[in-house]
Chains A and B, each alone.
Chain A
C-alpha cells in the first residue's frame, strides 16, 4: 500500500510554503535545544499540528500529535518513541524521518515545510543530536508576548514589519518573530505574511493582526484612514456616546452623515423598540408635534408599550432557545412567558441572568429552568451561557485549545463543572430541576480533576458548597466582571446600530477587538452606573446623534461599515415584516394554536409552520448564536412579496384597510398609504405619480388602490429599516 501519490490539501495555514532566508539577524535561541521551547513552535508554525494534518483526531498517515500542540508530552512521545522510534535517529540526525519529511526529502503529503540546511532545519537537527530532550531544566518560562508596533496609522498599500518579543520569567527578552504565527482579521484592509510583514490593501478601516507564539497572543492594529483632504471637525454631539464616535471618525478622516428627519427617526425607532410600524395616527401626531423633546418622549412612550416586551422577548427567546420540539408545548410557552415577564417588568439584566443561571425547583413554577432542559449537557450549558451572557465562545476548547483565543480545555471543563450538579426529579407528573451531589469533572486528556472555576480566574482547591451555579452567577454579574456588562452593552448597541462595537456580538476575544474601545467603555460604564437597567441604556443610545444619523451617505463615508458614521439599512426581521404587511393591509395573519389577532412578533414558538416566516429567516433556535436569524435576501423572498396569493388576498380583503380607502379622495388614499408604509407624507412627485395612477383607472378604483399598495409593499423603503 502506498500513499506516494497522495497530495493532500489541508487548509491554508498548513499550506504556506516555507521560504525563509538564512541570514536573519535575530537572536538564536540557545546552545541547548528542547522540544517545548524550540521544536513545538516550529511544529505549530509549519502547521503540523493543525486540524487537517497530524493534529486531527486520527492523525495523518499514522502520525498523530495533539491539536495545536495542546499536549506537548504526548507529542514528544509520538515523535520520539511511537512507530518503534523510527521518526528520529539519534546517531544520524539528518536521516531522521521527522527532518526528511518536513524538508520534503521523502514524499510528504504536507509537502516541503522547510529547506534542508535552513535555520529551522538546524534546530530540528541539533535537537535530535542532543538526544531529543523534552524540556531543559531551569530554563526561563515565557512571561508575556508583545508585538511592536502596537498600532500604526497607515496608507493604502503600505508595509509594516512586525517584531514579536517574548519576555521570559528571568526578565530577558527574546525575539520570536520568526517563530510566531500571524493572522489578520480583515485581509481587505491589511494582510500579513508568514514572516510578520503587514501590507495594507486599498480599503479604509482597521484590522487586527494576531501574532501567536506558544499559546500566547499579541495584537497589532493597522488603521487605514480615508485618504484625501481632512474632514471638518463635526462639533455637534447629542451626548457622550457621540463624542467617542466623532473622535474615531476624525481619526479615520470620515464625516458623519446628517441627522435624520422626524419621519425617518419615527419609523426607525418604532421598529427598533417595538418591532412594528408606527400607525397612521402615531405618524401624524409625531410629525405634527412641535415639542422640542418629542424624540425623547416618543422613546419613553414606546418603552412603556406592551409591544416592547413582546419584541424583546422574541429576541431573548432566540438566544435562550425557546424550542417547542425540545421542550414541549406547555414548557416552551411557560419558558417564553417567564422571559416576557422579565422584560415587561424591566428586570435588571444582572438579576435576569442570575435568575436564569440559578433556577431551581419545579419547572412549572421556575420556567427559567427550562434553559437547562434545552441545553441538555453541562458542557453545552456552560458554552451557551458564556456565549449569551459573556459574549465569549468557548466551544472550541471542549476538545482543544481555542485557536484564536486563550481558552484551554481545562478552562472549558472548569466552566462545565459548574453545571454537573444539574439533574431532574419527577414527582406526580411534574418535573423539578434539582442540584445533586458533588460530581467531579476530569480533564479528558490529562485526567486531572478540574474544579469549577470561571474564565480567566484561578482554579480553587475544591468546589464551592451547595449550588455551584450560584457562585458562577455571582462572578458573572458582578460589575467588575470583564465581559458581562460589556457584552450586554454591546448587544444593545448592535440592536440599534446594526453592528456591535465588537462584531460578531457574541465573539469577544483579544483577536476580535472593539472598533471603538472608548465607546464600548462608555456604554459599559453607563450600564453599570444604571444598575443594568436596559431601558436606561436604550434611552441613552436612542438619544445619541449617532443613532439619529441619516442613512444617506456622503462622499467620505459611503464605504464605511465599521465606525457608525451613518445609519445602515437593516431588513425587517421575518416577524416584523409579516406584521407590517398585515398592518398595511389591515388583515391580521391567522396562526394555528394561538388566539386570533396574535401578531407574529408575539409568537413564542419558532417552530410554528409558516412559509413567510421561514422564508424570511426566522431562526430555528438550535444554537444560542444571534447569527441564526437571517436577514439576507433571496429570489424566493422577492417572488413571495410580489406574487404570494396570501398577500394578494390581504390586499383584496373586504374587511381590510383598502376597502375603507375606496370611499376617500385620491389625495387622502395616497397620504394614508404613504403614512402607513413609510411613516411619512409623499413628496410632490410621488403624490402626482400616484394621483395619475389612481385617476386613469376610475373604472377599476379598487384594483388601482390594490396595485398602489402592492407597489409600496415591494419597495426597498418598505422592506428595510433605515
Chain B
C-alpha cells in the first residue's frame, strides 16, 4: 500500500505533523528553521527578495518622475516639479511623500523599448523577451518566456513551505512560467487585499474540518487516487501538473508562515492606513508581509494606469495619491524593519506616455522613453541614471531596456544573468536576451 500522497515521497507522517502544527497552532514551525538558516547566511545567493510593482496600462512618467517644465504647453502638463529629499532631483508635486524617500530609491530616466502595445509590452517588461509573431496577448497566461518571478522561483526555489513567487491580487497575463512549468508558476491570491475581511480563498479547510479529519481525508485520498504517480500521469503533462499543484497546495495550507503572511488583519491599523486603504496600498503591505515570511518575488498587478482621456484629474485625485502613500510607506516600512537592503522594489508600467497631450486631455502609449523607479536590495538610493531629451521623447543618453532591467534584477538576487534555463525538451535559453547589469545603480 502506498502511504505517500505524493510521488516524491512526502509521507503521511510528515503531513500529519505539519498539518497538526498549523491547524492546531502547535509549536512546530518552519519559520524557526528558516530564521536559523538565514542567521547563518549573509548577502549570498538568494538573500534578496523582489517586489515588482507593475502599474499596468502605463504610468505617465513625464508627469511624475521625469517632468519637463520648460517644454511647451502641449507637452508640459498640469503638475509642477518640486524638490525632493535629494538635492537636485525634482519630481511631481503630487508625490510629496515619495519625494520624502527619494534617498531610498533611484530613477532610470532613459528607459526605452520598441513596443507600445499593451499585451506585447507587458510581456517584454515582465520577461525581458519581446514576444514573437505567434504571440496571443489576449490569453492569460500568455507567456512565451517565463516572467522574472518564475525565473527566480525556478533558479532559487522556495524558502520553506511558502511559495517562492506570488502574484497579487490576480495573475498578470504575462506573469506565468511558460516552459518552466508548474513549479515556477505563481501562486495568485484571487482576492482584493483591501476587501473587508480579506482572506486568501480556500487557504484553510472549512472550520468544520479539523486537523485530524483533514489528515484522514488526505490519507484516504492517497489510497483512492489510482492515477497519482501512475504511468498514465507520467505520460500526460496536464495530469502531472495537477499532481505538482496539489502537493504545493497542501504545503501551503499546512504552512504556518503562509497563514501569517496572508493575515493582513495582524497589521497595525495605523500602518494599514498609511499604506492606503485601497488595492494598491494593501497589496504593497501584503507584499512586504510575504517577503518577510520568505516569498522571493511578489508581483503586484495594479490596473487603470492607461490614462488616454482626461488624465490630469484622474492622476491628481485618484491614482497619484494612492501611489504616493503606498510606495513611500513601503520604502519607509522596509527600512524601519531592516529589510530594505534585502528587498528590491521596482516600480514601472509597461511603457510611459506620449510627450504630447492628446485632444482628449490624456496621453497615449509611449515606449521610446520612460522612467523606471527602483530601490532597495543593493540599489543605491537618490540617483538618476540616464537622461531623456527635452520632451522625454527619446533617451538623451544611456538607453536601457527590459533586458537590462532583468539582468539587474537577477544579478541583485544572486542569479547570474548569463545563466541558462531549459525547455522541457532540454533546449537552453538564456535568462536574459543579452541584458546588461545597470552598474550605475549599484
Task: List chain A positions with a Cβ less than 8 A from chain B.
Answer: 1-3, 5-11, 15, 51-52, 56, 58, 60, 187-188, 201-203, 396, 403-404, 551-553, 558-559, 566, 568-571, 611, 615, 622-623, 625, 627-628, 630-640, 642-645, 648, 652, 686, 689-690, 693, 703, 707-708, 710-712, 714-717, 719-720, 722
Contacts and interface: CB of A to CB of B under 8 A. Distances in A.
B227 A717 contact: yes
5 contacts: A5-B397, A201-B425, A571-B238, A627-B136, A638-B249
A11 B202 CA distance: 41
Interface stretch (B73-81, B182-190, B265-273): B182-190
B231 A716 contact: no
Contact of A5 (B209, B221, B399): B399
B434 interface: yes
Contacts of A188: 423-427
A388 to B, nearest CB: 15
B114 interface: yes
Contact of B224 (A203, A566, A623, A712): A712
Given A60-B114, A640-B201, A715-B228, 20 more contacts: A1-B389, A1-B396, A9-B130, A9-B434, A11-B130, A52-B114, A201-B426, A551-B235, A558-B235, A569-B232, A625-B138, A627-B139, A632-B238, A638-B245, A640-B202, A642-B202, A714-B225, A716-B242, A717-B226, A722-B227
B227 A187 contact: no
A634 B245 contact: yes
A569 B136 contact: no
B238 A637 contact: no
Contacts of A202: 426
A212 to B, nearest CB: 13
A5 B399 CA distance: 8
Given A568-B236, A569-B239, A625 B216 contact: no
Contacts of B253: 639, 642-643
Given A187-B425, A553-B235, A686 B224 contact: yes
A553 B224 contact: no
B403 A9 contact: yes
A60 B368 CA distance: 11
10 residue pairs, one from A and one from B, having the closest CB atoms: A188-B425, A638-B249, A569-B236, A716-B227, A639-B202, A643-B202, A711-B221, A711-B220, A715-B225, A553-B235
At the interface, is chain A mostly helix, strand, loop or mixed?
Answer: loop
Interface string B132-149: 110010111000000000
A16 to B, nearest CB: 13
Contact of A633 (B182, B188, B234): B182
A396 B133 CA distance: 8
Contacts of A630: 139-140
Interface string B217-255: 100110111111001111110110111011011101100
Interface residues on B, range: 35 or more
Nearest to B137: A623
A10 B402 CA distance: 11
B216 to A, nearest CB: 6
Contacts of B424: 188
Nearest to A615: B190
A640 B435 CA distance: 39
A6 B224 CA distance: 60
Nearest to A507: B134
Q: Which has the most chain A C-beta neighbours within 10 Å: B204, B224, B232?
A: B224
A551 B182 CA distance: 22
B217 A707 contact: yes
A551 B232 contact: yes
B163 interface: yes
A630 B185 CA distance: 15
Contacts of A404: 133
A571 B227 CA distance: 13
B436 interface: yes
A6 B233 contact: no
A720 B246 contact: no
B81 to A, nearest CB: 22
A691 B74 CA distance: 79
A202 B425 CA distance: 8
Q: Which has the most chain A C-beta neighbours within 10 Å: B213, B220, B236, B248?
A: B236
Contact of B399 (A6, A640, A642, A648): A6
A494 to B, nearest CB: 15
Interface string B188-214: 101000000000011111101100010
Given A643-B203, A717-B227, A7 B436 contact: yes
A110 to B, nearest CB: 12
Contact of A571 (B213, B242, B398): B242
A703 B208 CA distance: 10
Contacts of A58: 368
